[in-house]
Amino acid sequence: MAPVEFDHAIALRYPRRSLKRAERAFRCSSFRLDLLGDMRSQSISIRQVCGQSGIKSGYSRRPLTELKAENEMMWLIAVGMLRREVDGQGLTDSFRLTPMGRQVFDALAPLTPAQYHPTLGDHLYNAWCRWVRSPSWWHG
């Protein structure tokens, strides 16, 4: 039986609303675009994003505690941008881009930081989306 080949050039189509929500979530986060750029080719550990190492690597705008970085990464997972890495023993502390995350990166990469800087409205809408998101136990 011949091996199945996967065409990586196939572009997934996401609803525009989903892409905008993911883009807004990233722009409102404490992370810099360098993080997404590096996540395109490798997984990034939460420890690489926290504290001074996150600033030195260009991944965060300010020093983040592990809890704060984890919460922001989990929101980016919820909007479809990131996925958690899994190894043979379960979940790891590393993250990678999803295909949607790649599309958001491609949309933001040509812009300057000033061009993708979130507005107050972006922050308010993003906060609203995070707050009204129903917990997983709600759905049964």
**pLDDT tens track for 56-91:** 999 999 999 999 999 999 999 999 999 998 887 877
The pTM of the full predicted model, rounded to 2 decimals, is 0.82
Helix, strand or coil for residue 83?
strand
67: domain CATH number?
Answer: 1.10.10.10
CA pair distance 43, 53, nearest whole angstrom: 16
Residues of the chain above pLDDT 70, percent? 87
Residue 4 lies in a domain: no
Residue 41 has pLDDT above 60, yes or no: yes
> By CB neighbour count within 10 A (0-12 exposed, 13-18 middle, 19+ buried), where does 54 fall?
buried
CA pair distance 84, 139, nearest whole angstrom: 22
* Mean pLDDT across 25-54: 94
pLDDT of residue 132: 82
Residue 71 lies in a domain: yes
**Interval 85-132: pLDDT, tens:** 888 787 788 999 999 999 999 999 999 888 889 999 999 999 988 888
Q: Domain containing 38: what range?
A: 17-125
pLDDT of residue 92: 82
CA pair distance 61, 30, nearest whole angstrom: 6
Mean pLDDT of the chain: 86
Residue 139 lies in a domain: no
Residue 132 lies in a domain: no
Q: Which amino acid is at 140?
A: G
* Mean pLDDT across 37-49: 94
